[in-house]
Amino acid sequence: MKSFNILLVLVLGLFVFACGPEKPSLTEHQIIPLPTDVKVSSGAFALSKESSIQIDGDSQGLDWVGSHLAQKIEGALGDQILVSDAEGDIVLRVEAGENPEAYRIDISEDKVLIVASGEQGVFYGVQTLLQLMPNDIVANKILEGPILIPAGTIVDKPEYAYRGSMLDVARHFFDVEDVKYYIDVIAGLKYNHLHLHLSDDQGWRIEIKSWPKLTEIGGSTEVGGGEGGFYTQEEYKDIVAYAAQRYITIVPEIDMPGHTNAVLASYAELNPGVNLANGVLDSLTKTPLNYEMPLVNPQPAELYTGIEVGFSTFATDLELTYQFVDDVVREIVALTPGPYFHIGGDESHVTAKEDYIKFINRAQDIVQKYGKTSIGWDEVATADLLPTTIAQFWGDEENALLAKSQGNKVLMSPAKKTYLDMQYDSTTRIGLHWAAYIEVDDAYNWDPANYLEGLGAEDIIGVETPLWTETVTNREDIEYMIFPRIYALAEVAWTPSALRSWVDFEKRLAMTSKRWDLQNIQYYKSPKVNW
């Protein structure tokens, strides 16, 4: 009888052990973008409300990263997590190294160590660590038992230095909270630039104190005739600071000399007109006068709420135009610590070629005067580029190669792969399809370094994925157009092409979608993915 009782205890013990929480393994992770190297170990780290976060480095930014991690997990643990320089079981460490974006994570049953040579790398390591946690971490409820994180080592670094997304706030205006939401999404995917398209024919979206009618008139509408809106300079600074805290650089764009109807509706004197100096000859020398005279009867443009392009242009011969550009660049640069200013330059169909070249050359000089590097859509390569200017390839392959021939770098945004406003297929409820229908596998299955013959990795600064908003009116629309493609493009920009596989990515994407369900994100359920 005694032997039988002992046997029963052993059997029950084995049963309890077998029915205990299953320990996760790094062999089935859902990390996006895919890290450079993942090594699997046995066991798991048990994160509980008794756990603490140790900051190993004298850095205010690192303190914020620790608080950011704590905030992400406290809801699931049901208690606050201590963040300090005292010994803890999750260690965030900065140590000497070459690439501040690279990081390493070591996870054992006793400790988690995230180490990088810069705060940015630690932040990226935290994003990866959060993806290793159960999907219920985002469910806004207290989880039963500890949060198990699979043991192993992850070593990671980005393929491209510039990894960006663009949000068009000109066609439809999005308020500060929507922009911050967009920042949070891309920060979690290790994007490091947010390009804000701040002006277009349909609206002007940032306060310029020296030209107040820009927002009073130009900011008053949007596509479809809505009330539009704009950011005050204080609101814009708030966006810049919020992004910087998440290691995202804001790239402001003022599109010119085309896509300028909102400006021309605000200030009639910037419209093209008859310049008297062009037709008046000096009575003695019979040569054109070498001074500029006013335009005859300049009229303000009508406010525009459609989506056609290519019909507007600045008066490129007017010196006042360049004073306007100078004032706008000066005020925005004072609010933007990042290195870039985007001068647009696309689709200036009614600007004469010689006038376009003259304008782009002068715009670059103005941006350089204020200590910034110009970025322009690929048409700017038809002008004389300054050595630092970056051409953003979106449509014309010859322009991208022309930029290379001038010795300039190219930012890859091919519309057929990266434009998030394109429909997924002919049944997509919003979006356009002039470039292509872009399914999630189309967004994933391309290599920036091999996309254009004659343009290699050494010519490319990075990848940017734009969301134009002709048909996008609210946050739900944003989610529908970017989820899941913004995940695919994050991996294109971060992970070497030799490591990428659609079959593997599709599995990780399907696992990740469980979080979107818990967060009530309105994503597109592509038939290409086994959700």
**Structure tokens that stand for 249 in this block:** 């650089």
Quick check: 113 and 84 in contact, CB under 8 A? no
Q: Is 216 assigned a catalytic role?
A: no
| Nearest alpha-carbon partner for 376 in 353, 401, 399, 349 | 399
Q: pTM of this prediction?
A: 0.93
From the number of C-beta atoms within 10 Å of its C-beta (0-12, 13-18, 19+), residue 518 rates as middle
**pLDDT for the residue numbered 57:** 83
Helix residue ranges per DSSP H, 78-175: 119-132
Quick check: 318 and 352 in contact, CB under 8 A? no
| Nearest alpha-carbon partner for 32 in 105, 120, 107, 127 | 127
**pLDDT for the residue numbered 249:** 98
- Please give the DSSP secondary-structure letter assigned to residue 183: H
Distance (Å, rounded) from C-alpha 39 to C-alpha 37? 7
The single residue of 235, 292, 347, 397 carrying the catalytic annotation is: 347
- Could you tell me the end-to-end alpha-carbon distance of the chain, in angstroms, rounded to an integer? 53
Distance (Å, rounded) from C-alpha 421 to C-alpha 438? 9
How far lies 209's CA from each of 212, 223, 276, 299, 320, in Å? 5, 25, 30, 23, 17
Residues in the chain: 531
Distance (Å, rounded) from C-alpha 404 to C-alpha 497? 22
Distance (Å, rounded) from C-alpha 486 to C-alpha 467? 10
DSSP assignment of 293-344 equals -PEES--PPPP--S---S-----TT-HHHHHHHHHHHHHHHHH--SSEEEEE
**Structure tokens that stand for 166 in this block:** 């663009």
| Nearest alpha-carbon partner for 201 in 252, 254, 262 | 262
**pLDDT for the residue numbered 428:** 97
**pLDDT for the residue numbered 279:** 37
HSE toward the beta carbon, residue 366, CA cutoff 13 A: 23
**pLDDT for the residue numbered 183:** 98
Sheet bearing 90-94, strands edge to edge: 37-47, 147-156, 103-107, 112-116, 90-94, 52-56, 82-84
Backbone phi, psi, residue 506, to 5° = -60, -40
Backbone phi, psi, residue 340, to 5° = -115, 150
**pLDDT for the residue numbered 21:** 52
**pLDDT for the residue numbered 58:** 74
pLDDT, tens digit only, all 531 positions of the chain: 444 444 433 334 444 334 445 678 899 999 999 999 999 999 999 999 999 999 998 777 899 999 999 999 999 999 999 999 999 999 999 998 899 999 999 999 999 999 999 999 999 999 999 999 999 999 989 999 899 999 999 999 999 999 999 999 999 999 999 999 999 999 999 999 999 999 999 999 999 999 999 999 999 999 999 999 999 999 999 999 999 999 999 999 999 999 999 999 999 999 986 443 333 333 333 334 333 445 567 789 999 999 999 999 999 999 999 999 999 999 999 999 999 999 999 999 999 999 999 999 999 999 999 999 999 999 999 999 999 999 999 999 999 999 999 999 999 999 999 999 999 999 999 999 999 999 999 999 999 999 999 999 999 999 999 999 999 999 999 999 999 999 999 999 999 999 999 999 999 999 999 999 999 999 999 999 999
Place of tokens 């469980």: 514
| Nearest alpha-carbon partner for 452 in 402, 502, 486, 407 | 402
| Nearest alpha-carbon partner for 158 in 392, 491, 417, 498 | 491
